[in-house]
Structure 1
Amino acid sequence: RGGPTACEFSFVLETLGSKIAAHEGEYADSDCYEILSELALLGRYELRALKLELRLAIEGVRADKFELPYRIASERTGCGFLILPVTREFHDRAFNALQSLSLASKHELELERQVGIGMWKNSEFVDVEWIFLEGGNPPDPDLEGRLAFSYPFRRVSEQRLPPIFT
């Protein structure tokens, strides 16, 4: 619906739609469809939380302000979402950072699936990149050691969202 953040959420979703449309004739990028499926499984309050974090990330990118990644995880669906705002200084390493932080988040939160959303400003426009990770989380002492040495995330706070009755 309306509101000041509605267009920002639509903008981010449109980037996923554009990615699907660009590859429609060549080959099907199944990751995009998996991401759409995970978004469709979210409840209203989970979508509201994701929308808020997307808005905060876009504001950080537009201001070229360093922000730690934003994360939400749905216990109900077993999927996490990581939103990575990237400053211009780190633009050249943005995609690698998105991949490694998404993997670290998936591992730390012990999730089966993780959607990574990276945002950076390449010109006057904000670019959005999506990745989808799926699979188990076998023990990884190297990754756990790196997380213990330099923790790249905001401290996790659990928040139960109210149930939706239809």
Structure 2
Amino acid sequence: MFRAKVVDIEQRAENLVVTLKADRSWKGEIPSQVIVHTALHEASCGFGFEEGKEYLVYATNEKGQQWETSLCSRTSEITNAEEDLSFLGTGTEMKDGQTEKDPADAGQEDEPDHVSNKNESSTPARLYAASGILIAGVLVALIIILLRRNRNVP
């Protein structure tokens, strides 16, 4: 999570590549210049950034790949983020001079900064838990069906 001003928007295929100048963060260390990808259209959950406006950005950078955000995140124009800012507190002021290269560009020599995401390691665990619940539900349904059939047999 960081507060940033849009300095450039570039369209690439079905994505918008948005360059932001960040001045404050709330989770981990991020560079002062951040390149965020979002879908091109709102119908594809793309967030409608506007050049020159300031935003509170909720973006993910899982496994050191490119930063991404969507319409479904809590990203919003800073003037509409009062409730979030009140909850988050003051955050950390950004250091000048830090920049980030877009990993989508050729070379990728420098590994981009990575904000740790507590949900990264729990994603497989959630998948296993959901699968287990689904299997348990199917087993319960089968047992009920078998018990009902046994009652009807003389």
TM-score of Structure 1 vs Structure 2, range by shorter chain: under 0.3
Task: Name which one, 1 or 2, has greater alpha-carbon Rg.
Answer: 2
- Structure with the largest fraction of strand: 2
TM-score (norm 2): 0.24
- Structure with the largest fraction of helix: 1
